[in-house]
Structure 1
């Protein structure tokens, strides 16, 4: 799951030569600034999120909420395996490559990449073998529904694919070249959409179990496409690394390389292990959430198939809507790691504060209108997308708290970039523990049911974000301006009133058209208020690639 732009733009015009060593001429990949990198990933992320709704809308109509529930039961265990394989390695690679690249040490970059690929691929093969051997036990005992067995087996090939692609994404992230990641992610999304729907439709006549497996197979095929795009770009981006001094012997060269590789392996593990631990808590929390939610609903008197359907609606329909603005927070987090790592190595706290402020302000400002629309118009949105508004109440409950989710990714990336992965680990663990306790306490009660899980997930969003915020503030002295929050809140209130007034006025005959008009006008009013309150100005727009030339031709992000 990666992102690139087209290959012609990836190779820059700068050239590097070393005539004395006779190495020839190498094309240098283009490096983006923090804002450019974030915007490239944002564009790809928004496109992919929007495209990603095609199967999310079509699948429930094709295989129903119960079929979606089967896929969602496989997904959390897959996330645990992927986290174990590549949870912290991409971040470690990005940090080490950024440091080595800033020194022009191409030999180090090559060694870091080679070690990371070997490590991730080896772990992925071991994990795949374990999953294959224990597939029957996992599907019947852990996932609570034996019908997921075929889909689980279909998922296993994705493990080595993601292992390699994640390392390559970390490499390009460290080079501060986000174009390969963007193009790869887009390719993966397009193939996944087409093949997920095609395979699910092909296998549907043979039963719901095989239809769910077909959908998972489409995801695996999409991952293959994304990896292929990354591989092509990596071949184009390869450089001949620096060698040790020419007067060293072959044995001395081997010793020198072995010592360096051992040192880099230690550095990779030093960063990857705590980051993987932090992500593993989130992934295990997600897995336990799926198990406990279904079992708690069953204890509350819901039939097993109904519990699977309700969980499928929550995780397969409601959560994806909330995560739509997450395309921005993901792009900010990915771009933030090398930028903050570089600034921290120089002791440049001014740049760190600027980057944090940019990230947080963008996360809040862009997430706010989604919160308003999903909270106020949850029913019409669910009806339009899924042909059913039974899950609208869940969306209505969760939407106001989603703003905390949008701020969470940049804050966690900041902690990791500033060498505080242990702090992020503790914060994530605390939030996960509270969430699981609340699921068991609330979802088992008939008066709450699935809303008990919704409340627990919402509490987790708020708690983890606040803990991250306090940790970053203590570490860097970073503070947001309270006036910014008041301005955004005022803009949200006016936007809410506008959206409700237009929706209730019922200008057009079709509800879908009324929804589109209400949303569009409300967003325009919100953007006008942002400009009026000076939350964004022409200088902010001037930092955006392509658009910048129309506002500030000489501006530099």
Structure 2
């Protein structure tokens, strides 16, 4: 049990660190790309193209890595190393076929897709990004295999390789394209060519890593390995509900993008203005996605951990990990959400030197809490062999998002501001449905104080301290210094409030990165 706990902690730590690095590198890529090269119009082309890519990406790869990880983890927990390898071999062949199909669809239908989302200038960007679907699909087979072996290093390293390559080549190609042509649609395609190249480098890294470490895997000698057809059946059976669950949201986002662009057109905005407004929305989405990506690294590591516990019928460990993961998620996501919401204008002004449309981030900041909990709770439901529940819940949330956007975005007085409202209501609904399902399936009792009251107290403290500090410091210190002062004060009050209301137990503190060190210091100064 202690070994499993250590594996869970180490896996979560490795993935969390890599995600933080990737997000930092991603910011170094996307912010100058937006601010200095493509600007809001070019980023509107770039972002609208990504909605098509994301949908095909999710359909191709979302469910299979989770399925591979789960099956490999279960096989190894039962001492069937040879079967674990066979699962990887079969899944890699399957993903090669899936990736090739996605590539051909993206390439062949780029022009119709661009017309569908009312952004015809995005067709070239879609064509250039098509090969990345193949490389990402094949790479996901390696990542799923190693995650099932509780080895997060390949995933972490390959993500950093991809991010660094995208930073270097994406900015270079985008700059050259804009300098030589001055056309936003060509500049967007230049940026995406760097992304495609980065996925190729990531795939090459994973393949080399696998070949180098394959000899270290000690094969067992079982002879009753499942047939290829049976493995394929298991993979597809597990992957389909996961894929549908995630693809429903990306499909909703795709429909959402097309609706937003068409509705803005219907109330009188021309294509350049629509693309610019969508570019501003993308800025809010970029910042909105930062906390969930890092915090939800827990979800990536916890699926194999809980799957192993369930396979070994260790209900106590499974329940303990479930409660700890959700509790830590809420306590970390709440201050991030409140901080983004309260400091939306200065954050956008600092990053982009442009605070226009900051209310988009004010609303999206609140949604950060809900999307983070959705990602983790989806992973928990999958670990409990209930992958269809997130599918239905996401369908309900997606329907709410479309209806709200249909009503609000078409209102000239609200227009683009209706989009984040729909997003917030969507994820709020899914969180409620997921938590109800988890309580029913696992039998775990969620404390109202631990999961609602204490996080709300911390959230209010974060919102008030950051807002008040910025309001009084900005006139004296300036916008940039005032922003960092507000963040620093909010972080201090957040940490103090965590201790004062005893939001985390000693065992939960140990789950944090450097948890043992943190706990020893807190005990030394009698703070816990």
The TM-score normalised by the length of structure 1 is: 0.87
- Are 1:159 and 2:162 an aligned pair? no
Structure-2 change in CA distance of 1:350 and 1:294 (3 Å): same
User: Hey, what's the Cα distance between the residues in 2 that align with 1:423 and 1:214?
Assistant: 40
2:524 aligns to what? none
Q: Give the stretch that moved more between structures: 294-303 or 495-504.
A: 495-504
Structure-2 change in CA distance of 1:349 and 1:437 (3 Å): same
Partner secondary structure for residue 411 of structure 2: coil
User: Hey, what's the Cα distance between the residues in 1 that align with 2:278 and 2:247?
Assistant: 21
After superposition, give the CA deviation of every residue in 1:496-529 in whole Å (9 maximum; x if it has no partner). 3322332222275331011101111210111111
User: Hey, what's the Cα distance between the residues in 2 that align with 1:400 and 1:543?
Assistant: 26
Aligned residue among 206, 219, 225 for 1:241: 219
After superposition, give the CA deviation of every residue in 1:109-166 in whole Å (9 maximum; x if it has no partner). 1211111011111122122223323333222x32322211111110111011011111
Aligned residue among 58, 78, 82 for 2:32: 58
User: Hey, what's the Cα distance between the residues in 1 that align with 2:518 and 2:326?
Assistant: 26
Q: Give the stretch that moved more between structures: 364-373 or 460-469.
A: 364-373
Aligned 1:70-81 pairs, distance under 5 A: 70-81=45-56
Aligned 1:118-517 pairs, distance under 5 A: 118-139=93-114, 141-205=115-179, 206=181, 207-238=183-214, 239=217, 241-243=219-221, 260-314=227-281, 316-484=282-450, 485-506=452-473, 508-517=476-485
User: Hey, what's the Cα distance between the residues in 2 that align with 1:375 and 1:174?
Assistant: 37
Does the 8 Å CA contact 1:88/1:276 hold for their aligned counterparts?
yes
Structure-2 change in CA distance of 1:311 and 1:218 (3 Å): same
Does the 8 Å CA contact 1:364/1:407 hold for their aligned counterparts?
yes
User: Hey, what's the Cα distance between the residues in 2 that align with 1:281 and 1:500?
Assistant: 36
Aligned residue among 68, 71, 85 for 1:110: 85
Does the 8 Å CA contact 2:324/2:508 hold for their aligned counterparts?
no
Give unpaired runs (5+ residues) of structure 1. Answer: 1-29, 246-255
2:526 aligns to what? none
User: Hey, what's the Cα distance between the residues in 1 that align with 2:505 and 2:207?
Assistant: 39
Higher helix proportion: 2
- Are 1:532 and 2:500 an aligned pair? yes
Give unpaired runs (5+ residues) of structure 2. Answer: 522-528
Does the 8 Å CA contact 1:328/1:363 hold for their aligned counterparts?
no
Does the 8 Å CA contact 2:295/2:333 hold for their aligned counterparts?
no
Q: Give the stretch that moved more between structures: 345-354 or 462-471.
A: 345-354
Q: Give the stretch that moved more between structures: 95-104 or 487-496.
A: 487-496
User: Hey, what's the Cα distance between the residues in 2 that align with 1:174 and 1:226?
Assistant: 19
Structure-2 change in CA distance of 1:216 and 1:395 (3 Å): same
Aligned-pair distance for 1:31?
Answer: 10
Aligned-pair distance for 1:267?
Answer: 0.8
| Alpha-carbon RMSD | 2.1
1:251 aligns to what? none
Structure-2 change in CA distance of 1:163 and 1:478 (3 Å): same
Q: Give the stretch that moved more between structures: 56-65 or 153-162.
A: 56-65
Structure-2 change in CA distance of 1:497 and 1:330 (3 Å): closer
Partner secondary structure for residue 431 of structure 2: helix
Does the 8 Å CA contact 1:329/1:407 hold for their aligned counterparts?
no
Q: Give the stretch that moved more between structures: 422-431 or 225-234.
A: 225-234
Aligned-pair distance for 1:534?
Answer: 1.6
User: Hey, what's the Cα distance between the residues in 1 that align with 2:241 and 2:97?
Assistant: 19
Give the total of aligned pairs.
511
Does the 8 Å CA contact 2:148/2:304 hold for their aligned counterparts?
yes
Q: Give the stretch that moved more between structures: 340-349 or 533-542.
A: 533-542
Does the 8 Å CA contact 1:349/1:476 hold for their aligned counterparts?
no
1:5 aligns to what? none
Structure possessing the higher radius of gyration over alpha carbons: 1
The TM-score normalised by the length of structure 2 is: 0.92
Aligned-pair distance for 1:493?
Answer: 2.5
1:39 aligns to what? 13
Aligned-pair distance for 1:549?
Answer: 5.3
User: Hey, what's the Cα distance between the residues in 2 that align with 1:31 and 1:535?
Assistant: 21
